[in-house]
Amino acid sequence: MAEVDIDRILENMFNIMLVIHKKILRMDLELETDNLNRLHMAVMGLLNTSNMTMTELAKALMMTKPQLTHLVERLVILGLVKRLPDETDRRVIHLTLTSNGRVKFKGLRKKLKENIKQKLVSLTPEELGQLAATLEALRNTVGKL
């Protein structure tokens, strides 16, 4: 593939991520009530699928462990995340979403979906079909990387 095509792909990827972040994922939900932000929600989302160590979580979020520590500490203080010591290596700490954390995440995710649905209703049926097909193609293609 030509270098120009790759540059065009990269530019479009960056632009679409910004647009999605600004126009679709902007949340005025209840995050501010607990001083939570999108990164807190991302941590909760990852922990909702499985327990992770700080190293695994930092790698998944492409953050340093010191950056992540502050986020996790806030979630621990709020009782949304719990630290569990590893049974075989005391240096390793696993993070898990508490039952309150699961309830909070589920509620935030529901509100986010409702927020996005409200924004999508302004599109025509044709635009919605095109968006659905484009997102599916993007998911399938990026999944091959």
Sign (positive/negative) of CA torsion 69, 71, 73, 75? negative
Q: What is the reported pLDDT for 32?
A: 57
What number is the average pLDDT over the span 83-88? 91
Structural domains counted in the chain: 1
- State pTM to two decimals: 0.75
Q: What is the reported pLDDT for 6?
A: 86
Q: Please give the mean pLDDT across all residues of the chain.
A: 88
Q: What is the reported pLDDT for 1?
A: 57
Residue 15, domain extent: 3-142
CATH number reported for the structural domain that contains residue 79 in this entry = 1.10.10.10
Rounded Cα distance, 57 and 95, in Å:
9
Rounded Cα distance, 36 and 97, in Å:
15
Judged against a pLDDT cut of 70, whether residue 27 lies above it is answered with no
